[in-house]
Amino acid sequence: MPEIIPITGDMEWLAPIRAMAGGSNAVSAEAQAVREMAANAVRFVEQSRALFGAKAEAIARLLSLANEYQAEQATLDLSSVALAERFLHALPDDFPLPEFSVEPDGVISLDWIESCHRLFSLSMNPSGRFAYAWLDGTDKGHGVARFDGRQVPRRILEGIAAIFKNGTATLRAA
Amino acid sequence: MAEAAFKLKNPPIVEAMLDIECDMPGRELAAVKLAADQSFLPQYPKFEVFYPNSRILGEAPQSAPQPVPAMPFQHDSPRFQYAQEDGKQLIQIQTGGYSFNRLAPYTTLDNYLQEIERTWKIFVRIAEPIEVRAVRLRFINRIPLPIPAEKLDLKDYLKIGPRLPDEVGLKFVSFFDQHTMVETDTGNLANIILATLPAEGNRLPLLFDIAAAHDARLEPTNWRGVSDGILSLRRLKNLIFRNTLTERCLKLFQ
Amino acid sequence: MEPLPSGLPEIVADNEDLARFLASSSQFNSRMVKPSAFLPEPKSRETSVFRHGREPVDALWHIGDEYAAQGRTIHGAAILTAQTVRSTALAVIAGEPPPRHAAIRNWPWIESDPELLKAQQKEIAIALAGTADFFKK
């Protein structure tokens, strides 16, 4: 049997299939067929609550929020919603999951809120360059980090982890 | 077989795609549209804003047995797509970088490198990317396997591929087989998909999708570095192609 | 200086309460208002507030339903003082009509880098959210 190089993260083996399912710049009908089959494979795995439960619920909340905004004809950027879903897939599996809100420009905001003095907020800008800001007691700051659709930038993972560092969640950065 | 000698008379490639992923300055894509139109429209006159998951070119083959439900919000950021008049060759630009697509008929990458270089340099000039982060090459092959009267044995055509736990009592209905691998010498990553499509008459179409990626940190003006990455990926792709298909299969393309 | 049509003085005093009405339940949780509730509208570049505190409650919700809702349902209000807003280097300027309306202005604005702009605005919005009191309708 060929050698396998182990990778971190319980669900990271799904990442290449997700990448195929999530879209690429290929335009042929055959590429679309691959995309659909990959999406089916991903969906089949994600039906397992044992493998995917908490994230599935988070995505359901995200889509529910998007539906609410669409029903009220409020400003909502659909690209941002799609990016948020992809970002959730890319989060390490035992990472705290965010809350969602919509910013005035229709962009989805992901917020990790430990308290009113410790929070990390991330905007799902459609460009893939995500704006973020944090408050940690008297420490605060902001920045921009690029999401390639597959892997959450380390500085974002570290920023979120720092908010919960004294909490009870067990964290394992990718 | 030497790289230069590995050429097929009728390659089964239905689409070849080069992605150059870039770190871009914070700017809306619309800001470069005028310059992009002026630069690309003369040779690529068919323009549209393209949402990748919402449209396919040409007739969609029947794929999975179950219909795929419509997924809301399943489209990426928009990209500008410039296509040649016959639709066979495209340049795509987006906030994540540049793509070159060639649909069948496809000859050899060497025949397209000059045009890739020309259009890439245009992209660098008008979009001013800060850094190249990755180069990706993807080839989607469609191999119509002849279905003989008795049975189709995949081993006649595939050196590697899916196997069943009991090859007497169990028979394939379809498969979607995916591997991800790293080339230890170069660090290049590759993803292979082998998947069947529904039979068409006495042929079983097999999709053989090879995607290879080369992480790089390059100045966008360093065409030599970019093209070295492309050629490294092409070498890997050819290795995978030759070592996956049998001689009998390769003869189908001569 | 002439009072405004609402009878309020033109200058918003530091100790005045400002109400930011929330038109979605996603803009708050059990602990606080979320930062996105305070970000400026991209077109006007300002955040709309009303010069009213928690009490009287009926008057507060009347203002929200009548002038802030714009076809949506008001779920609650974040209340903070003008001084709190000004401490983040933003301005609070009265702007009637509608009655009691004011605008939080002077948000950072960088045309050349919209993402960095958003990040800077978010840092300020977090500071506002952290000090606002939330009242559910």
pLDDT tens, residue by residue, C95-112:
999 999 999 999 999 888
Distances (CA, A) of B75 to A50, A117, A150, C96: 28, 36, 15, 41
What average pLDDT does chain A have?
81
Chain C, nearest residue to A74 by Cα: C72
Judged against a pLDDT cut of 50, whether residue A9 lies above it is answered with no
For residue C40, the chain A residues in CB contact (below 8 A) are 104
Flag whether C12 is in a domain: no
Judged against a pLDDT cut of 90, whether residue A142 lies above it is answered with yes
Pick from A101, A103, A105, A99: nearest CA to A119: A99
Q: How far is C61 from chain A (nearest CA, A)?
A: 20
At A1, is the pLDDT very low, low, confident or very high (cuts 50, 70, 90)?
Answer: low
Percent of chain B past pLDDT 90, that is, above it, reads: 52
First to last CA, chain B: 15
What average pLDDT does chain B have?
83
For residue A156, the chain C residues in CB contact (below 8 A) are none
Check CB contact under 8 Å for B53 and A35.
yes
Number of domain units in chain C: 1
User: B50 Cβ partners below 8 Å, 6+ apart?
Assistant: A27, B78, B79, B80, B81, B92
Check CB contact under 8 Å for B63 and A79.
no
Tell me, what's the pLDDT at A40?
A: 76
User: Distance between CA atoms of A55 and A53, rounded to whole angstroms?
Assistant: 6
Flag whether C5 is in a domain: no
Tell me, what's the pLDDT at A126?
A: 86
Average pLDDT value for residue range A16-34: 73
Q: pLDDT digits over B20-32, tens only?
A: 998 877 666 778 8
Q: How far is C39 from chain B (nearest CA, A)?
A: 20
Average pLDDT value for residue range B37-41: 95
Q: How many of the other CB atoms lie within 10 Å of CB of B52?
A: 24
Q: Which of A104-118, A147-161, B136-150 has the highest average model confidence (pLDDT)?
A: A104-118
CATH number for the domain whose boundaries are B13-54+76-251: 3.30.310
Of the two residues B163 and B220, the one the predictor is more confident about is B220
Check CB contact under 8 Å for A99 and C26.
yes
- Would the ipTM clear 0.95, i.e. be above it? no
Q: pLDDT digits over B54-76, tens only?
A: 433 332 333 333 222 222 233 34
Is B11 buried (19+), middle (13-18) or exposed (0-12) by CB count in 10 A? middle
For residue C46, the chain A residues in CB contact (below 8 A) are none
Q: Where are the domains of chain B?
A: 13-54+76-251
Average pLDDT value for residue range B70-84: 60
The strand pairing partners of B213, in sequence order, are B136, B189
At B194, is the pLDDT very low, low, confident or very high (cuts 50, 70, 90)?
Answer: very high
By the 8 A CB rule, do A170 and A89 touch? no
Check CB contact under 8 Å for C112 and B28.
no
DSSP tag of B200: B
What average pLDDT does chain C have?
94
User: Distance between CA atoms of B175 and B197, rounded to whole angstroms?
Assistant: 9
Considering the entire predicted model, what is its pTM?
0.66
Tell me, what's the pLDDT at B65?
A: 30
